[in-house]
Structure 1
Amino acid sequence: MKKSIEYKMKKNKLLLIGWDAADWKIIGPLLAKGQMPHLKKIIDNGVYGNMATMNPPYSPMLWSSVATGKTPDKHGVLGFIELLPDLEGVRPVSTNSRKSRAVWNILHNKGYKSNLIGWWPSYPAEPINGVVISDKYQKVNSDPKKRKPLDEKAIHPLIEKENFLNLRMFPMEITQAHILPFIPRAAEIDQDEDMLLKPFAKVLSQNVTIQNAVTRLLRTTDWDFTAVYYDLIDHMCHSFMKFRAPKLSKIDQTKFEIYKDVVDGAYRFQDMMLGRKLQLIDENTTVIVMSDHGYESGNKRILKMPKVNAAPAMEHRQFGMFAAMGPNIKKNTKVFGLGLIDVAPTILHHFNLPVGKDMDGNVMREIFKDFREPESIESWEKVKGDFGEVDKTVEGEALSDQEAMEQLIELGYIDKPDIDKNKMIIKTKCELKHNLATVYLGLNQHEKAKEILLELLQEKDTVDISVYYKDLIKISLTKENYSEAKKYLQSLKKVKTEVKYNLFFIESEILDGEGRTKEALNILTSVISSRGYMPELWNKIGALQYKLGDYKFAEDSFEKAISLESDNATYHRNLAETYYSLKNYEEAVDSALTSIELVRNFPAAHFILAQSLEKLGDLENAKKAYLTAASLNNNLKEKENQAIENIEEKLKQVKLNDKTDYKYRDNQITVVSGLPRSGTSMMMQMLSNGGLNPLVDNKREADKSNPKGYFEYEPVMGIHKDNSWLGKARNKSVKIVAPLLKYIDTKYRYKIIFMKRDLNEVIKSQLIMTKKNPDIFPVKIHNSYVRLLNNIENWKEKEPGVEIIYVDYKEIIENPEENIEKIESFLGIDLERSKMETAIDKSLYRNRSKETEKTK
């Protein structure tokens, strides 16, 4: 007995349990009621956290990513069905569809024994060292009176067939004893009209079949790795989630009362099956329970599915669940930022095997008590030898897996195959290509996605092309090509489709991109009465309010979004930035940390965390957060590096004055800014006289309002569309008025001399220049300038590459020497001070306000 225990410890066993669509939002209350005690045992003795999914959230694709550590474009499983190699038919995805080796293939090559039960897809069974019970094993004939013989390719090794043949449960064997725990009022169901008991019996019996198979293998075989997959929760949700509390207004009260407990019952039964498996392993076995995505249980539930590709997946949520316990797993610890593609590398690391560099996932280092750095290998695909793979030259027939096809049709994942074979083939081909385009979108490979989408638009007669336009709009908006987005939007509006798109989001984003932010906000606020339950609506409203400088309103909107969807990392990150702008730095830290807890690899959340910590004086942790942000975001590396440089100088106790640093920066750009008519042209001339070359084009000639010239550069006016010219301003000065400062390219270092002037004087000067009555005070203009100046204050605090001093127009005229010395010191360069003074002409100081006159 002692030798047996030592042998098992040496084997370092791992049990992987897949619960399709399991969601913490439902699990949490059940745990609190003590109704999932076995999962609670794992949580109390191990780690738990969210599991981020991928798009599109189609289960065969996702579970193949779990098995390979790779994204679907690499592993090749791109949907629920696929074309036959000869393009003459379709079939459910299978083991043949997978182009990458799964973790059990790699373990086979290294001499480990693996059991695989019900994995999707795993038919035909692979000849690995161990036992494979494929996903065809539990699928039975739709006719309850028929018992179809078991396919010889459904189990490996074939010698095991007889051991598992009688473990299958059939729908006709489901009795009231099985039904009543889920549906206590089942006797009230009129089965001639209400057909829901049939799919219930089918799903329940199939998952019991899987449970029977895995428990037998755990009891009777010697194994290193066992993986089992259940679709119980996912399929019960597709049939019964619409009846779960809280009741949706359009759901019949009687049906609600009958079916409201089915989904929770599925979770509780899944936990009971977990309990039995835990009884069959020892304390030295590592256990992982996880799901591939979550499932909408609130107002986003869909009562009538549109007829589009894999419509039921529209109810899948972005986060699944993850829990693990074992000898080297931390105890009662929440972990963050896990993804599906991290599972396979983690399993390989558990077995002391190297991780392929071509895998997209990483080892989950946070879950281990004692962590050693993982080893790597170029690619397991390049290793020669026996990997227990099927002979992929032997292909099945079209629609050969009839049971699998029928279940996919019943669930709505695929349409019933068209009588016209050509149409069916074209439709399947389009769905697979679109799925690949969606994968590319998720990987930010926009050009690859766009190329596929434009090809798909040619298939107008066979498929709904609206979704292709929707994705093309998304790409255009990402690239800030608003004219192209409008063109695709107009095309989308002409397409006949059953999908109800929220086009107001697109219209609002286009308007905002064109600089019409208030109009964009008005579009969104106009639909609050009918769409106020949508968290993304409140988030987008908050983003526009923030952009307009209405931070308190933005705070309220982001909090509303979070109240409706508390586990959205973006909402928490946006709230953190709003708190930062409101100078509520502690609250900003809390919100940023919540965002990072939800999605670990979120560079913008790490960045706002760093800025907030810096404001609180926690420079060491601020530096760590900046470094993390920089490691995650290549596009903003310059910005983070600037912030890190600032932090390091502060840590060395270099004297700094907030955003003002009296130090020259290599290739710095000197910006003269301020409100129009605040003395910016005079400052440009001063710097030019002092020896700092200006970036100007002299296209605007001097006039009565500015007799010494405007010192302007025409591309500045289009900086919101194109700021690529800013490199020309390095080691020069350029004039950029205050409203345009936010459009600078943050990869450069900036020294901003901001001209201050009494607002009344500025407005009066502008009125005279535009030949308007200076005695009629424009209150709206005054208030908008006050808001703009406040926004500048907030903006400069968030930009590590920006240093700024304020120069008062009146003071520099009356006390030029002191102010010129301040400017020279700020820029860190030698200037010809006497020549700078010659640019100051007191006779040009006109339009003084009454307050200014009193101080003379």
Structure 2
Amino acid sequence: MGQKDIYTLGFLAGGYKAVAQFKGLDLSQFPAVPASTVPLTSLLVGWDAADWQVMSPLLTSGKMPNLTGLMDGGVQAQLATLDPPISPMLWSTIATSQWPSKHGIHGFTELENGRVRAVRGTSLKVPTYWDILEENGHSCTTVGWWPSHPAPASIGGGVRVSNLAPAEDGNWLSAGIQPSNLQPLARALLLQPEEIPVQAIALFFPDLDVSSEDAVVRSVLKITTHAINVHTLATMALAYGTQNHASIYYDALDHYKHLGMKYHPPQLPGVSNEAYLKYKHIVTAAYRLHDLFLDALLHYTDDTTTTFLISDHGFKSGDERWGQLPSHAGAPALEHRHFGVFLAKGPSLDKDAVTSGLTLLDIAPSLLAVHNVQATPAMRGRVAPCFTPGEHPAQVPNAVEIVTADQEPVALESSMLTSLVAMGYLDADATEVTGQRLLENAYYLARSLRAEGRPEEAWRELDALKLNAASPLRYLQLGAALLAESEQYLELERLLAWTTHEQGQPAIWAYYRALVALSKKEDWVLPNFTSHSIQVSTAILWGRFLVKADQFEALHRLLEPIAIDRPDVLNLWLRYYLHVENWEAAIEVGLKSTTLVFHQPWVHGALAWLFIKTGDAEAAHTAKAVQKALLPDHHKVPLFIVTGPPRSGTSLGMQLLKSLGVLPVTDETRKADEFNAAGYFEHEKIKSWTFDANWLEGLRGQSVKIVAPLLIKAPLPEGPKVIIAMRREGNALMQSQRHLMGAERAPLHWKEMDRWEKAHQEMTLLFTMDAQAAVVELWFEDIMEAAGEGKVSSRLTEAFAVLTKVLNKTVDISSLKGVVKTQLRRF
């Protein structure tokens, strides 16, 4: 091999032996490679920000032959990210199949003894999939995972290389590599930017005489040095470890893209011809480099290995790119796209299975399934359909061992934080602390809780930052979204007083102001949108508003010009088709939405209801089971809500719950009378509609009465709810209502009965979409027949069974007889 060949990037990507040769190292002076006979059952390769849209033309043109080979016979899919797309949070979710609220990683930094430092792997609060694998006898090697410093020792012979260990200065190696006897070799292998020969980065600038005076060239050189160091240590770890599984994470692709995507073809407006011609190859070269890395890794696999290639998110390309990012912490994340990549190839894959709707939460359960290890009950993801695991052994993971290390010098932490600021992930003042909370971390956690479907808790996190008119605009925008989603309109109105129409996008702030107006039953105005004047994200907000306002024809006009199939748009179509009772169209868009993003509990609930309406009981049962599996068990006491039309027996339902130990929430303002001798069990806060979800949250374990159809408009809290839906035969219901109003002789109209029945159907749909709500139907006639004649209908038997399960006490006919006084039934 000639000297010129040695200097190529392809040579340096060959692994630790090639780098050792390049540096003139004698490997015999270091520990010998063990003669391992342990099979590598699985290999997971993580490429931060890899995106099918960018890779597809490269694959077609033959620029990524190793990835093409991996795809041949494999399964490919899109992989939905989570919000916020912040790498340490996302890769921790991938490793644990849990949301950041559970796994404990909330940003790039953390507080330790009042000092800000780069986030550590020891801050993870739950087991990773490699912890679980090792507890089940499968040794694991991990390299570069963000975060994973300090590196814990493998209990099974694997090698651990932390995310900080590959830093060029080598100052993190002492706590960053296990076993420690590999640290001298790692230190000797690490390259410095000045060691990378000019020829090695020619791939990035084929039409440019490379100059170290060029800032973009210097950045590429720095990123490339780090990428090669990660890869060098990865191949070293694979060679020296005895592992059944290995996870290798490369962050460089994301950095290359943040630097070079604006120069990537096609040329963006605002990018000069000179800059475009000089730098347009950066992203392509970055992918080609990673393809070379992949080739080296695949040499450690065989036909029995299942190989995964994944990314935590995609990256915007083409017309979606930003010309100029806003100036605030985390702005680079705006360039990330919602869908990353999923690729798997191995002997046990079902290549014909429809693998769609995957999220980051699904990776850990899927990888464990390859090793025939069961996911923990706390994991929120599912096994990808392409995997067909056998019988799972029972396993309960032990607590994760927290690895401690000597505290690194403050100067090193300062250097790491400076690097994060330089890359745009942190503001220079983002280390500001309020009440021992990092401001940006609280903001990220609030965004994550929102994505998790917990807007009330998200608002509490954000509100702890003491928002005011001087708060960053993105904090106020998130606060408005959270208050809108949790229906805290008084708080939303207070927040809006700090903003003006000029802040951010006027149409979005107009949406929030219209929401407040709608909640106060005041007039609101729909902006005069056209298909060319509204962004899709803004249209989605106004679409949700129109659903709340029952303006479904306007919703149809708003959605009609939007040709993009994305879950939020499809879900608005789902709401529309439900309203117009087009069940087949509703099922079609609902299934399409869950194909794009599977983790949507309410959509699965809607599909369950739709399948019931169309007579497909088996599909309805499956959809309901999926919905329940997607939601965590919060172990909360349920909130009991008695509802139904006036004179349907709602007060009787409250009496029944009271006799069963569920105390009613009532202020007794409305006294008992001839129509309700036992009282009305009402509360003025509900009658005057001055309550909110927080007030109801404080009433768990008790019962409240909210008559239909007001219940579907009520600001209900998240978590378990038991809905006692009182029913009564139509003629009797109408006659009783007329008697109450002193209008006994008024004629009965079928439209009135239809209106009450439609209100009941809407309520049933609403709570079918809530996996944590149980609906118990109690028919007034059934109750009276059981109390008076001792006959228990099948409907009443079913209701008793649900109440028995919820209350953990026997509910039967004797429960009714102690409450119902048939002689009082006058109307």
TM over 0.5: yes
Structure 2 CA distance, aligned partners of 1:32 and 1:487? 54
Residue 570 of structure 2 is matched in structure 1 by 572
Residue 5 of structure 2 is matched in structure 1 by none
Does 1:504 pair with 2:520?
A: no
Report SS of the residue matched to 1:218: helix
Q: CA 1:268 to 1:827, structure 2 compared with 1: closer, same or farther past 3 Å?
A: farther
Q: CA deviation digits over 1:92-139, x for unaligned, max 9? A: 223343344444445455554332222222333322232223323432
The two structures, once aligned, show a CA RMSD in angstroms of 4.9
Q: CA deviation digits over 1:582-622, x for unaligned, max 9? A: 55544333221111112223133224434544555544324
Does 1:381 pair with 2:390?
A: no
Does 1:314 pair with 2:342?
A: no
Report SS of the residue matched to 1:491: coil
Residue 203 of structure 2 is matched in structure 1 by 181
Residue 596 of structure 2 is matched in structure 1 by 598
Q: CA 1:527 to 1:9, structure 2 compared with 1: closer, same or farther past 3 Å?
A: farther
Does 1:476 pair with 2:483?
A: yes
Report SS of the residue matched to 1:748: strand
Residue 60 of structure 1 is matched in structure 2 by 88
Q: CA deviation digits over 1:770-795, x for unaligned, max 9? A: xxxxxxxxxxxxxxxxxx99999987
Q: CA 1:630 to 1:288, structure 2 compared with 1: closer, same or farther past 3 Å?
A: closer
**Aligned match for 1:172, one of 194, 219, 222:** 194
Structure 2 CA distance, aligned partners of 1:722 and 1:64? 35
Q: CA deviation digits over 1:403-461, x for unaligned, max 9? A: 5434322211124479xxx968989733334434444444455555444433322899x
Q: CA 1:718 to 1:27, structure 2 compared with 1: closer, same or farther past 3 Å?
A: farther
1:368 is displaced (CA, Å) by: 1.6
Report SS of the residue matched to 1:186: coil
**Aligned match for 2:385, one of 366, 378, 397:** 366
Q: How many correspondences in the alignment?
A: 672
**Aligned match for 1:748, one of 721, 725, 738:** 725
Does 1:395 pair with 2:407?
A: yes
Residue 146 of structure 2 is matched in structure 1 by 120
Residue 79 of structure 2 is matched in structure 1 by 51
Letter of the structure 2 residue corresponding to residue 249 of structure 1: P
Structure 1 CA distance, aligned partners of 2:438 and 2:449? 17
Structure 1 CA distance, aligned partners of 2:505 and 2:419? 23
Letter of the structure 1 residue corresponding to residue 190 of structure 2: R
Report SS of the residue matched to 2:598: coil
Letter of the structure 2 residue corresponding to residue 256 of structure 1: Y
Does 1:138 pair with 2:166?
A: yes
**Aligned match for 2:121, one of 72, 88, 95:** 95
Structure 2 CA distance, aligned partners of 1:425 and 1:202? 34
Report SS of the residue matched to 2:78: strand
Does 1:485 pair with 2:478?
A: no
Does 1:554 pair with 2:561?
A: no
Q: CA 1:18 to 1:116, structure 2 compared with 1: closer, same or farther past 3 Å?
A: same
Residue 54 of structure 2 is matched in structure 1 by 26
Residue 258 of structure 2 is matched in structure 1 by 238
Report SS of the residue matched to 1:287: strand
Q: How does 1:209-220 map to 2 (within 5 A)?
A: 209-219=229-239
Q: CA 1:555 to 1:398, structure 2 compared with 1: closer, same or farther past 3 Å?
A: same
1:488 is displaced (CA, Å) by: 1.2
Letter of the structure 2 residue corresponding to residue 122 of structure 1: S
Letter of the structure 2 residue corresponding to residue 510 of structure 1: V
Report SS of the residue matched to 1:239: helix
Residue 308 of structure 2 is matched in structure 1 by 288
Letter of the structure 2 residue corresponding to residue 509 of structure 1: L
Residue 304 of structure 1 is matched in structure 2 by 324
Q: CA 1:196 to 1:493, structure 2 compared with 1: closer, same or farther past 3 Å?
A: same
Letter of the structure 2 residue corresponding to residue 503 of structure 1: W
Residue 802 of structure 2 is matched in structure 1 by none
Does 1:405 pair with 2:417?
A: yes
Report SS of the residue matched to 1:327: coil
Q: CA 1:793 to 1:528, structure 2 compared with 1: closer, same or farther past 3 Å?
A: farther
Residue 653 of structure 2 is matched in structure 1 by none
Q: CA 1:328 to 1:304, structure 2 compared with 1: closer, same or farther past 3 Å?
A: same
On the 8 A contact 1:90/1:399 being kept in 2, the answer is no
Structure 1 CA distance, aligned partners of 2:617 and 2:574? 18
1:78 is displaced (CA, Å) by: 2.5
Letter of the structure 2 residue corresponding to residue 282 of structure 1: D
Structure 2 CA distance, aligned partners of 1:75 and 1:409? 25
Does 1:80 pair with 2:102?
A: no
Structure 1 CA distance, aligned partners of 2:753 and 2:62? 56
Identity %: 26
Letter of the structure 2 residue corresponding to residue 91 of structure 1: R
Q: CA 1:18 to 1:430, structure 2 compared with 1: closer, same or farther past 3 Å?
A: same
Residue 454 of structure 1 is matched in structure 2 by 463
Residue 324 of structure 1 is matched in structure 2 by 344
Structure 1 CA distance, aligned partners of 2:251 and 2:260? 14
Q: CA deviation digits over 1:741-764, x for unaligned, max 9? A: 964898625569699xxxxxxxxx
Query: TM-score normalised to the size of structure 1?
Result: 0.66
Q: CA 1:402 to 1:790, structure 2 compared with 1: closer, same or farther past 3 Å?
A: same
Q: How does 1:778-817 map to 2 (within 5 A)?
A: 800=764
Q: CA 1:397 to 1:446, structure 2 compared with 1: closer, same or farther past 3 Å?
A: farther
When Rg is computed on C-alpha atoms for both structures, the one with the higher figure is 1
Structure 1 CA distance, aligned partners of 2:466 and 2:685? 37
Q: CA 1:719 to 1:221, structure 2 compared with 1: closer, same or farther past 3 Å?
A: closer
Q: CA 1:721 to 1:455, structure 2 compared with 1: closer, same or farther past 3 Å?
A: closer
Q: How does 1:577-656 map to 2 (within 5 A)?
A: 577-582=575-580, 584-614=582-612, 616-629=614-627, 632=630
- For structure 2, the residue ranges without an aligned partner over 5 or more in a row are 1-34, 634-641, 649-668, 672-682, 717-722, 733-751, 767-778, 786-827
Letter of the structure 2 residue corresponding to residue 431 of structure 1: E
Structure 2 CA distance, aligned partners of 1:92 and 1:801? 47
On the 8 A contact 2:44/2:308 being kept in 1, the answer is yes
- For structure 1, the residue ranges without an aligned partner over 5 or more in a row are 1-6, 142-147, 636-666, 674-695, 699-712, 756-787, 803-824, 832-856
Report SS of the residue matched to 2:464: helix
Structure 2 CA distance, aligned partners of 1:716 and 1:151? 62
Q: CA 1:508 to 1:39, structure 2 compared with 1: closer, same or farther past 3 Å?
A: farther
Structure 2 CA distance, aligned partners of 1:35 and 1:752? 71
Q: CA 1:611 to 1:347, structure 2 compared with 1: closer, same or farther past 3 Å?
A: closer
1:47 is displaced (CA, Å) by: 3.1
Q: CA deviation digits over 1:617-651, x for unaligned, max 9? A: 5443244334544665799xxxxxxxxxxxxxxxx
On the 8 A contact 1:573/1:595 being kept in 2, the answer is yes
On the 8 A contact 1:83/1:425 being kept in 2, the answer is no
Structure 1 CA distance, aligned partners of 2:188 and 2:395? 43
Structure 1 CA distance, aligned partners of 2:160 and 2:432? 35
Structure 1 CA distance, aligned partners of 2:180 and 2:323? 44
Structure 2 CA distance, aligned partners of 1:407 and 1:634? 37
1:574 is displaced (CA, Å) by: 1.9
